[in-house]
Amino acid sequence: MCAVVCLFVVLPLPGNEAKAGEEWTVVDRILGEDGKHSRDVSGIACMTSSGFPRHCLVIDDNLQSGQFLTLKDGELQPGDVVPLIENTFGGRDLELDGEGVAFYSDPKDGGAFYVIGSHGHARHDTTDCVGPLTEKNKARIAASSQIVRIRLKPSVGKTLSRHDVVDITRNAKLRDFIAAEPTLQPHMDKCLEPNAQTEGNGVTIEGLAILNGRLYAGFRGPSLPGAPILSVPLESLFGSGTGGAKLVVVKLDKGRGVRDLAPYGGGLLVLAGPVGSERGRYDVYWWDTSSPDMKHLGDITDQAQAAEQSKPEGILPLEVSSGQLRLLIVSDGKDAKDGAPRTVLVPAP
């Protein structure tokens, strides 16, 4: 899941029409478990919103780290690994379960990437979907209930590297804002998907964007129906501010949730898909951030080659050409090696 903060209109070069369904090359690999090719890419964000090359950060939801990369038109060049968290339980590393990444440039603090954990129950352990949490799952939820900020130097190198990082800070304040929302609190620490013990429908964040100093967290679950999007001032998360949270439940059918968010055109692009792990439809919407209504831009299921083992997880705006907005989609699944980056086209909002 990804976001960038600037608005943009890029004029196409003569004879260079944007095409949908193009698979982009990944040089070497995006690192996954055990140093292998990632098959769990969950988000990408870049420092700039137009032109190439771009300095970006990509995340794998099974790791404690992210990875810088250089984005060129048609190619991703992964680089340095960036540590995000250090949580452990019983001597073993715990995942951040990083599901969304955003970039935001603040006049006071400079530019920074932000990575958000799912803030949810471990999806692969359903031993305590009902009843008290085990100590292990308490630790897992604590690890995933963090937002990580990676602040960068005012001027970075030609290739973004670990030497461009000023500091890395983490906090769990968003969990308190979630608990304060009557719509969300009953779903905290519950399993996402139904099983023999429970109906599921627990809290799981998958989308992250930052717009005008507010952090937007898009929820894959619960499905209400409709999908919750909670926004909080950055100052209330990483500064001295308090309060200011706003919850909007955008209109989506039952069983569908947010899979990613990205700023565009003064609002947000919303990637929507199934709440559960079943194969389903993926759509892109544009949302003005104020009302529950969204503008449907298109069904991208076929363009993104979405399948049971390749599910769109991240969305990155590229440029507009002839009224069509070109997006880069990265996916998660056994068939999504290195995120299977692929372009799609939808009408510009």
* 192-203: pLDDT as tens digits: 877 655 668 999
At residue 249, does pLDDT exceed 60?
Answer: yes
At residue 287, does pLDDT exceed 90?
Answer: yes
Domain around 63: 25-347
Separation of alpha carbons 23 and 13, rounded Å = 21
| 11 domain-assigned | no
| 145 domain-assigned | yes
| 207 domain-assigned | yes
* Residue percentage of the chain with pLDDT more than 70: 91
| 4 domain-assigned | no
Average pLDDT, the chain: 92
CATH number, domain containing residue 39: 2.115.10
Separation of alpha carbons 139 and 250, rounded Å = 31
Q: What is the DSSP letter of 328?
A: E
Residues 6+ apart with CB under 8 A from 65: 31, 81, 82, 83, 84
Q: What is the pLDDT of residue 208?
A: 99
Average pLDDT over residues 258-262: 99
Q: What is the pLDDT of residue 16?
A: 45
Q: What is the pLDDT of residue 13?
A: 40
Average pLDDT over residues 120-144: 84
- pLDDT-derived band at 18 (thresholds 50, 70, 90) equals low
Higher local confidence (pLDDT), 179 or 133: 179
| 18 domain-assigned | no
* Residue percentage of the chain with pLDDT more than 90: 82
Separation of alpha carbons 159 and 156, rounded Å = 8
What are the distances in angstroms from CA 173 to CA 16, 66, 244, 309?
46, 21, 13, 34
| 214 domain-assigned | yes
Average pLDDT over residues 292-313: 96
Q: What is the pLDDT of residue 277?
A: 86
* Nearest alpha carbon to residue 144 among 91, 217, 210: 217
Domain count, the chain: 1
Q: What is the pLDDT of residue 197?
A: 57
Predicted TM-score (pTM) of the model is 0.94
At residue 2, does pLDDT exceed 80?
Answer: no
Give tens-digit pLDDT for 38-68.
Answer: 999 999 999 999 999 999 999 999 999 999 9
Q: What is the pLDDT of residue 110?
A: 76
- By DSSP bridging, strand 267-274 and strand 256-264 are antiparallel
Give tens-digit pLDDT for 318-348.
Answer: 999 999 999 999 999 999 999 999 999 999 9
| 12 domain-assigned | no
CA 197, distance to chain mean position in Å, is: 29
Average pLDDT over residues 157-173: 96
Which residues does residue 330 pair with via DSSP β-bridges, in sequence order? 314
At residue 4, does pLDDT exceed 60?
Answer: no
Beta strand extents in 180-255 (DSSP E only): 204-211, 214-221, 227-233, 246-250
| 13 domain-assigned | no
